[in-house]
Structures are given as C-alpha cells and as structure tokens.
A and B are shown apart, each in its own frame.
Chain A
Amino acid sequence: MIPTLAIRSLMRAKARFLCAVLGISMAAGAIVFSTSLVATNNAQAPAMAKRAARPWSEWRTARRKDAFPGAKIVLETVDLTVDFRPGGRVLQGPPMRVRLAEAPEANPYGAVALVEGVWVEQDAAEPQVVCVDAAMRRFGKIKPAVGEFVKFVGRKGTMTARIAGYLNGDRLPPQFPNVFANRAAFDALQAEERSAIAFFSEASGVLAPGEIFTPESDAVVAAFKSDEQRRMDYATPLMIIAAVLTALSLLVNSLLLSIEANKKTLAILRLNGMTRRGIVAFVAVEAFLMAFCGWALGCAAGMGAVKLFSLDAAAFPAGAAYDFTKMGCTLFAMPFVALLAIAFSLRSALKTRPIEALAERVKPARRGMAITFALGFAAFVAVETWGASLMRAFVPSPEWPDAIVSILPAGASSFDIEKLRGIEGVERISELLPLQVYLEEAPPSPPPEGKGGRGGRMPAKPNALFLAAEWLPRFKFAEGDYETACAGLKRGEIVISLMMSRARNLHAGDTLLGLKIAAVADVNWHMVTSRALVRGMNRMPVMTDGPCFASFDTVESLDRRPAFMVPMTHVCLDYKKEFLAKHGPFGAGRLVEKEIARRLGNRVDSTVRLHSRDEIADGTLAHGTDVIGAAARVPFVFLAILAIGFVAMLVAEADARNKEFRILRAVGATKGQIAWKLVASALRTAACGVACGVPAGVVCGYFASLKTAAIWPGLPHYLAIPWQIVAEGAIGAFVFALIFAIPSALARSSPRQ
C-alpha cells in the first residue's frame, strides 16, 4: 500500500516530480556527458593518429640526414619559436613552438592538404614557408595571413619569411614538421642546430639510430588524446561533489514539499495504525523513485548528447565512447544521495504527532527551501572557488615588475642597459640577469658547444633559477622581511621563493650552493618567467622550484663565464603610474617595446618582446583556462539546476498559500501585491540560502583545490573567492526562478476559484 500511495502522491504532484527528476538528471547527465566526451575524444586517438600520419607507416628521427638509407623522404629540421604579433600585440601565453623542415618538392603529407596559398618556391631568393594551420593559430582564431611576413626565432638568430600557404592539419603525429621552408629560409638558419626525420611507407627493418614511430605507437596515440582528459581528471572529484550536492538539494526540496503536501494523509494513516516506519517507507519510495528516474534520464541524455556530438564521422571516426566506470559510480552515488535526502527531510515528519498534524494547516516548508537553496548554491560556489583558488597560484604577484622584456636569442651588451634609461613612461628599468644552475653536488660537465659552462651534467636533475636586478621587488615574505632581504643581498646572500622552501625544506639561515638564505619570499612567478623565456635557456630544463633572487655579483660568481661575455637577454621595468593609466597595459607595453628595440638598434639577430605581468589586464588569455578547461563551464549547469529547484519551491509555496491569496484577491489585493508577497518570501529564503551556501561552497571548493594542487607539489595554496561571479550567479538564479514562478503562482490565486 505504501508504494502505491507514494506513486499516486507523485503523480498528483507532477510539477514537483518533474522538477526533481529534471534537476537530478541534469546533475547525473553533466557527469556522464563530460566523462563520456573525454572517453570519446580519446577513442578517436588511434584512428586519428593513423589518418594524420598518412601515407607514412613509420618515421624516425636522428641527428644526421644521412642516417637512413632506404627512407622514402629524409628532411632536416630545426626547432624554433614564432614571434607572431597580431595587431602589434605580443601574444601572452605559452611560446608558439614549431618544427621547421626544408621543404620537399611537394606536400609530403596525405591527410594534411594545402588549402590556402601555394607551395614554396624552392629557388626564390625570398625566404618562404608553408605552415600547418594549427601550428600558427593562437587561441583557435588568430594566425598570420598568407603573404604576411613572420619572424622565426632560434637559439642563434632569427629568420623572417613570407607565409606562402597553409596546410589544413590540426594535430600532427609527434616529430612531424609543421612548417616547410624553401632553400632561402632554411639557409638563413645555418647556424641553428639541426636534426633529421626520415619517413618510411612500410616497415623499414633498418637498423639505424633514432626512435621508431608508427601510427600505432603509444607515444603517437597518446599525442592524439585530448588535453581535456587531464583537465577533467583535475576537476572530476569536485564535479562529483557538486553534482551530489545539487542532486541532493533537489531531492530534499521535493521530499520536504511532499511531506508537507501529504501531511494530512500521513497523519490519517498514523491515526489508523501506521507506525513511523510507514512514513519512512513512504518518503523512501518517493526518494528512490525520483533519484532513479533522474539518474536514468540523466545517463540516457548524457549518452545521447555524446552520440549526437560524435555523429560527424570525419571528426569522430571511431564514433562515440562512454566512460562506463564513472557512469557506474553515479549509479552507486544515486542511492547514497537518496538516503541522505531521506535523512534530511524526515526529521520534522517523524517528530510531529498525528493528531497535531491533522490540526495544523499546511504551511510552506521555508526552512527546507532555504536548505535546498543553500545546497544547490554551495555546489555552484564550490566549483567557482575551486577554479579561482587553483588559478590564484598562477597569477603573478602584483609586486613583480610590471613587465619583462626578452631580447632573444642573441641578447644585447650589458652596457646597453644605459641606453635604455630615461624611456618615457618608465619609472625604473634594470637588466634582469637569469642563471639556471643544477643543484646536485657533481663535477662540472664540459660546457655545451659555443656556450659558457653553466654547470650540471644530467639534464633531468632539478635546478635553481637565479635572478639579479638592480632592485628587489617589495614581495611579501614568509620568512624575514624586505629590509633583511635587501641587506642580505648586499652581503652576497640570496632570497628564495616559498615554493623552493617547501620543496627542499630550506629556510632563512640555511645555505644553497654555499650561499646563505637571507629571507623567503612568498611570490608567484610562473607565467611571467615562462612567457618571457627566462627559464629553460641554454638547454636547461624549464621546470624549476622558483627563482632565487641574488645580487649581480653573486649571479656572476656562479656563472663560469667572464661578465663581459654574458649578453643582456632580459630587462625588467616598472611604468610610471600616469603613463600606465593613460595608455593601459597593452598600449604602454607596445610604446616601450618599440622604444627599447629602437634604442638597441633594431637588431635582426634578436627579437625584442615585452611581456606584461598582468596578462589578463593586457587583454590576452591567461594560463588558467588551460588548467581548468571545461570544468569552468560546469558551475553554470549547477546554477541552472538550482534555479529549476527554486521554481518548484516557489510554486509550492504559492500552492500552500493558495487560500490566503484567494481571500486577499477577493478582498481587493492586486496581483502585484500578491506577487510582492511571494518575492519577499523568496528573497528571505534566498538570503538564508546564500548565507549558508557561500561558506559551505567556499570550504568545499578550497579543500578540493588543495587536492588538485597536490598534483604540483610545492605550489602555493590560496583561497580565492570570485565574489563577482558568485553574486551574479545568485542574482541570476533568483531572477530566473521568479520569472518562471510568479506568473504560475498568480494564475492559481484567482479569487474566482
């Protein structure tokens, strides 16, 4: 009898049932869709690898071109970066790296066809290149136009070539060149270090040096797997928590409404001898029914959406794939959510005596509404806080100099810093002298050919990046203070970063390479130093535990070369406030960069590039979305679910106050006055929900960000709450709910009923 009663109760309250099922299905569907989309993308990898590698069955790399007799094609290659400045703007973000090869007579690729322009003229005096489209695109949109000149930057110098045409490739197999140059362009890169790649149209059977790549190789297939997998792995634990919270809020909401709506029936049953267990059974049947229907609908919708998404056979040759493991997890989560919802909602129902329940008038479950709003909003806030807290560690500290200018690859003379003083708009400028040093106790290896010895002989070992400038920025200090740090630098001591302190358990007073540590600075430095290519120079690994600030004398003492042999590859500067206010970061940067290049003689062996500390303020994209990826869009799904739940709550409140509203209308209250009563009630509920949901969401999001950040040991942890987004989310959900709920409520309050 209880299941029959529960089912009938749901059928009589279709709106409540549908809202709960829809909300739960969206939560389940969001997880199923996201995880299955990643699985689908990854499932395409083998087919896409094979397609992209056509017509080659095998390819190998080596140092020398003549290492592969029997190869169909052998090409010499050079690794370069592209200095592409659309509209004069230096693109922030990771460097655009390309592998340039001498062009064969015709396009050597099968699937990657020439779609714009023409192939290079081998004998032309002008350097020309044909590029693979994806290699030259930044942020999916911008690329140099055919006919435009682009500068390519190597380790020894630069080469400027005209874009003759584009190949239409997206992702190429590892090692494949993505730029083809004519003789003039390739010859301009004579001084650069070269490698070779050999292509075979069948298994070579050649005993020759070099790693063998085939379309089926693990490394090749892995290269075609989606970056979204990695990003989704970061976000999955939090997404699951947020989905559970949201589904829970909808379910609790519905159950509380159900208990209120069925209070009299349950009281009558209790009067006639139903024990409390019967109430539990009634609520449990409703809860599991809604949870299961929502889950089933969500899975079906999620899978269907992935199927639709992957209908394009060209883009998805392997069709749709599903992550049944994570789908299975949602199946286990579903009864857990249902049980929690039952626990939340039963308390008041079990406490109420049946005779009291009969006597009570049905009133809206405001406390329950506030709880469900809080749960749903907490899910939204949790994901937003997770993202913001995670990204905070990558945003450069505001104390860092306003800009770093790279002069690469050749640099300028250190004496040339004097030429750069007095530039309009620049408060102060200094050479920024970088030196990466390996940290293990090992005899120094012979210096690389053409370079000063900078120590180290095993590239895989960790290193320290020493930085010297004329002033130490006023960082926050985890140990010591600014004055102690400056005094220490004068004495030949160093200041390390908090990240290094954590990674190596070093503190003020300890030594590193025999140098005493004067202070520990709490500084974020990642994006600035990587964009300006401060790290990873001279074949040192890019990864490091953070900068060590030192004086010029200290850095030069660590370097093996005489000071006059060390070129000035970087400068750092601060703008004058009024100059920055007048021109903005982009405008100020372009003006100063141009002036620096002019004062250094507009050299052709180097390219002058200014990198703003505040990338986002500059208007270019930051590193953040690369880490968070699709998870950044997920919170809005939860917000939509919350809004749906709130609509149901408001409609239910209108139902509960139906008689009151009808009487008021009969006496003369206008629809507006009735609507305002509902709005006021909704505002109170939402305010309570926000007040509870924000702290809960912040706590969840912060701890989730700690877990994600553990992937990068030593990364500083921050709590960053995106207040503006949270406020916009709350207002948006609230307004959405009112727009849908008020008309329905007013329709039910006609005095004629």
Chain B
Amino acid sequence: MGSEKALVAEGVCHSYGKGGGRCEVLKDFSLTLEKGAFMALMGPSGSGKSTFLHLAGALLPPGKGKIVVDGREITAMGDGEATRFRRRNIGIVFQAFNLVETLDVSANISLSARLDHKAPDSARVALLLETLGLSGKGKKFPDELSGGERQRVAVARALYAKPALILADEPTGNLDVHAAHSLCEILKSLNGKLDTAILLVTHDPMVAATANEVAFLKDGRIAAVEPTSHDPAHVSRRYLEMYNPAQP
C-alpha cells in the first residue's frame, strides 16, 4: 500500500503520570514526513522526542490525536494489528542496540521474517551484511561484536522488511565518535538509495546535520522545521537560538 507521506501526526497529545503528578509531554503535536525524507527531531531532555518516536512506532497509544504511517492509521489499531504492522512496515533502531543475545547476526537481521513464520531471505541478509560492512559476521553473536557493529546489525534488522519508515532513537548515543560518524554516513547513504523515510531523534547537532531537515520540539509541539544544509555549526546555532534565546 503506497502513500506519498511516510508519516503524518495530527494533534497528538500524550502525558505521563496521574492526578497531581501528571505531566503533559506532547500537546497538539503535528508533524509530516514525506516518503523518502530524512528528518532529525531535536529538543532538550524530557521534551518528548523519544515519546513521539514510541508513538510513531505503535509502541504506545497516544492520549489524543492521530498518527498515520504509510497511509494506515496506527492509532486506530489494536495491539495485535499494530504489532504486525510494525513488524512489516516500521524499522526501529535504539540507542542500546537491543539485539537478541541468543540469536546470531543473520537471525537478528531476519527477525521480522521469522516472526511472520516465513523462511529468511538469505540473499537479502547477505546484501544487508555487505551494505553495512558486516560481511563475514553473519554467524557471530552480538556479544562478539563491537558497539558500532552491533548498531549496524540493528540498522540492518530495521531495513530487512523494506519498511516505509525507520525510527532511530539516539542511535549514536552509545558509540564513540568514529563509530557515530560512520553510522551517520551509512544512514545518509541508505536514505539516498532507498525509498525509506528516516526520522532520527538526537540532541547531537553533528548527527542531526546528517539529515536533510531538522524539526525542533518545544513545549510539546513542533516549533520549526528547517533544512540542515548538512552543516553541524548551523544546526548547533539554531538549536541554541531555539532553546537558549538569551545566549549570544
């Protein structure tokens, strides 16, 4: 099922806690991601970036609002339907990698196929291994890989099912500078080759500059969406202007 828009969020509200301790992190949040777009989502800690990512990945139901991914409204789905949709149409990359320790690299990559009770496509696995610089590592287990390699396996897993949307939540958070840079280049390259939209949550201007656009989250909603020009300095300056206006 195709759509011009990979992700459409309209009037999304979400809060945590109960009673007097209730905290509203997203207030009337709206965002659109075109097919094949590469957008970074920035904001200070606790601003709701990861929360929106989880909502977009059908991992949490919103309090209010609507989220449509690849033409399907995920907020109207039950848990089972949303899970199956996520399996086939959304790829998620986490800061902590979140690989299955008891499966080898190839099995981790083809996880969605196994969950769909299908035989893994070994050619696709091999392609992804090669694309992500993991050739020859198919039989290794996660604890035999470096942090950068593990994160690349997570990216390969996210790409396996050819999803319409990839959500990356601080993917470089646990990587050293070199590995982080390498991962960013990979994401940029993949975005150029594939028709998959990428929404990348980060607070790092260098990582955000990898994307084509950056959305700034403020007071629970999108304050601005701007091109990054792939310039970390520009992104950094705009970040400071957005969240620390008193700074020169």
Contacts and interface: CB of A to CB of B under 8 A. Distances in A.
Interface of A: 1, 5, 8-9, 12, 264-265, 267-278, 353-355, 358
Contacts of B60: 353, 355
Nearest to A273: B87
Given A273-B115, A276-B79, A355-B59, A5 B54 contact: no
Contacts of A5: 100, 102-103
Contact of B98 (A8, A268, A273): A268
B83 A8 contact: no
Contacts of A358: 94, 96, 98
A542 to B, nearest CB: 69
A270 B79 CA distance: 11
A9 B87 contact: no
Nearest to B53: A355
A272 B115 contact: yes
A353 B103 CA distance: 22
Given A271-B57, A278-B115, 14 more contacts: A1-B115, A5-B100, A5-B102, A265-B100, A265-B102, A268-B98, A268-B100, A269-B111, A271-B86, A272-B111, A273-B83, A273-B116, A276-B83, A355-B60
Contact of A265 (B57, B59, B101): B101
Interface string B89-116: 0001010101111110001000110111
A271 B57 CA distance: 9
Interface in B132-153: none
A272 B112 contact: yes
B157 interface: yes
B100 A354 contact: no
A270 B54 contact: no
A317 B96 CA distance: 68
Given A12-B102, A265-B102, A271-B92, A354 B87 contact: no
B59 A354 contact: yes
Q: Which of A264, A267, A272, A275 has its CB near the most chain B CB atoms (within 10 A)?
A: A272
Nearest to A267: B98
Interface residues of B, number: 27
B102 A271 contact: no
A355 B100 contact: no
B102 A275 contact: no
Contacts, number: 64
Contacts of B103: 5
Listed from nearest, the 4 A-B pairs whose CB atoms lie closest are: A273-B87, A1-B114, A8-B102, A355-B59
Given A273-B87, A273-B112, A268 B99 contact: yes
Contacts of B99: 268
Given A5-B102, A265-B102, A355-B59, A275 B80 contact: yes
B5 interface: no
B237 interface: no
A614 to B, nearest CB: 64
Nearest to A270: B83
A353 B157 CA distance: 21
Nearest to B79: A276
A1 B59 CA distance: 23
B188 interface: no
A355 B115 contact: no
B127 to A, nearest CB: 19
A265 B97 CA distance: 12
Contacts of B112: 272-273
B88 A272 contact: no
B51 to A, nearest CB: 10
Interface string B149-179: 0000000010000000000000000000000
Given A269-B100, A271-B92, A272-B111, A355 B87 contact: no
Contacts of B96: 358
